[in-house]
């Protein structure tokens, strides 16, 4: 069940801090090659509406355009993965590991499982289709 109350989060060094004023959707584990390269394993992301994501401090926030129209937000100082933003959509994916506890969310599915690393197995959560849209 999504967290209706939002939450707070940020990077390891504290250079980026944010809060979400609206609903945080339950998390999705993405095993695509880009998430594996940017996180070192697989990406786990919640999501919120763009207008609900409020930056408190973004002095070290950097963006990398990983695909046309899609960018990944990370801390340019400590390297923490923070956001995935497809600018054609009305939401931003928020790295679940960047959220302060308690998050009030749970992981509900895996996507792009055909691209996962060959060094681990996925158990306990059925794979979903390849559509990364969390709705």
> Domains, the chain, ranges and CATH?
7-115 (2.170.150.70)
Least Cα distance to 60 among 47, 79, 77 occurs for 77
pLDDT of residue 25: 96
Which residues, at least 6 apart from 45, have a Cβ–Cβ distance to it below 8 Å?
Answer: 27, 28, 30, 84, 93, 94, 95, 96, 134
Average pLDDT, the chain: 91
Residue-by-residue pLDDT tens, the chain, 135 positions: 677 789 999 999 999 999 999 999 999 999 999 999 999 999 999 999 999 999 999 999 999 999 999 999 999 999 999 999 999 999 999 999 999 999 999 999 999 999 999 999 887 655 555 444 444
**Tens of pLDDT, residues 82-112:** 999 999 999 999 999 999 999 999 999 999 9
Q: Torsions phi, psi of 83, nearest 5? A: -140, 155
- C-alpha–C-alpha distance, residues 122 and 20, integer Å: 30
């Amino acid at each position: 069940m999504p967290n209706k109350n939002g939450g707070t989060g940020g990077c390891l060094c504290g250079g980026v801090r944010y809060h979400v004023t609206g609903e945080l959707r339950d998390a999705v584990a993405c095993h695509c090659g880009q998430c594996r390269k940017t996180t070192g394993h697989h990406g786990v992301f919640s999501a919120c509406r763009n207008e609900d994501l409020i930056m408190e401090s973004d002095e070290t926030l950097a963006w990398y355009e990983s695909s046309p129209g899609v960018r990944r937000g990370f801390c340019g100082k400590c390297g923490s993965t923070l956001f995935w933003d497809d600018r054609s959509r009305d939401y931003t994916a928020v790295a679940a590991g960047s959220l302060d506890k308690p998050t009030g969310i749970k992981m509900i599915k895996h996507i792009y499982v055909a691209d996962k690393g060959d060094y681990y197995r996925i158990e306990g959560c059925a794979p979903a289709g390849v559509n990364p849209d969390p709705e």
